[in-house]
């Protein structure tokens, strides 16, 4: 991607690219879904856990959800259920609304350079694509997905609010085996051995430690 192309993008998309590290079709899928969800629900980016995203894949799209929706790995309002599906549920706790976005059709290029895209696709299939050509293919596809009609890309379905518990809070206590501070609710009770952390399950104390 050229600098002039980057500068022509909206500020929030540039933030997504900066966070993710590159522009790619997956990132644009997430960007479009996140923007459409905010628009339909009249919501703003989550400061806390107001919005929850359930991604049914672990693709590049997830990074755009984090940037645009504020549904982040650290806050607990990003749930990744990797079914390998290009589908996302976005829920707003305040309005108790939830929307599922899903892709039901194959991608076909609908942009301004169809013959160039077709050439690049056939090189991809033949397996003789240079890195530069692959970047160009991704750029053309990204631009097509960015500018295409949303309804031509994703199905939008308003669904019942899923049951979404808040991220749990619990004090940290030391593991009885390794001694490392661990969230109390994550410890496994091993009876006389005490409570230990998940990586320590299956380990036993060495005789000199007893």
> C-alpha angle 57/111/35, rounded to 5°?
45
# residues contacting Zn ion (CB under 5 A): 8
Shortest Å distance, C-beta 80 to Zn ion:
15
Say which DSSP state 1 is in: -
177 binds Zn ion (CB under 5 A): yes
Q: What are phi and psi of 11, to 5 degrees?
A: -55, -45
Alpha helices in the chain (DSSP H): 3-7, 11-20, 25-41, 61-69, 114-126, 131-147, 150-153
Give whichever of 62 and 99 is closer to Zn ion, judged by the CB atom: 62
Place of tokens 């022509």: 8
> Which span (17-25, 74-82, 92-100, 109-117) binds Zn ion, by CB under 5 A?
17-25
Map residues 81-120 to x or -, x wherever contact with Zn ion holds by CB under 5 A. ----------------------------------------
State whether the Cα torsion 175-181-184-187 is positive or negative.
Answer: negative
145 binds Zn ion (CB under 5 A): no
Give whichever of 24 and 37 is closer to Zn ion, judged by the CB atom: 24
Site for Zn ion in 29-88 (CB under 5 A): 60
Measure CA 95 to chain center: 22
Shortest Å distance, C-beta 61 to Zn ion:
8
178 binds Zn ion (CB under 5 A): yes
Binding site for Zn ion (CB under 5 A): 24, 26, 60, 175, 177-178, 197, 200
């Amino acid at each position: 991607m050229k600098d002039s192309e980057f500068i022509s993008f909206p500020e929030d998309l540039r933030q997504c690219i900066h966070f993710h590290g590159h522009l790619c079709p997956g990132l644009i899928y997430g960007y479009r879904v996140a923007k459409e969800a905010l628009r339909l629900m009249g919501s703003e980016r989550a400061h806390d856990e107001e919005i929850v995203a359930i991604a049914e894949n672990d693709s590049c799209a997830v990074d755009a959800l984090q940037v645009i929706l504020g549904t982040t790995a650290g806050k607990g309002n990003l749930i990744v259920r990797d079914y390998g599906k290009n589908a996302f549920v976005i829920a707003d706790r305040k309005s108790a609304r939830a929307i599922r976005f899903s892709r039901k059709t194959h991608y076909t290029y609908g942009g301004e350079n169809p013959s160039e895209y077709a050439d690049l696709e056939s090189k991809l299939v033949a397996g003789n694509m240079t890195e530069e050509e692959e970047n160009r293919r991704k750029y053309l596809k990204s631009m097509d997905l960015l500018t295409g009609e949303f309804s031509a890309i994703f199905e939008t379905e308003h669904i019942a609010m899923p049951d979404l518990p808040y991220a749990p809070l619990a004090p940290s206590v030391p593991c009885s085996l390794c001694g490392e501070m661990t969230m109390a609710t994550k410890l496994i009770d091993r009876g006389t051995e005490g409570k230990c952390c998940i990586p320590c399950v299956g380990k036993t104390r060495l005789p000199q430690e007893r």
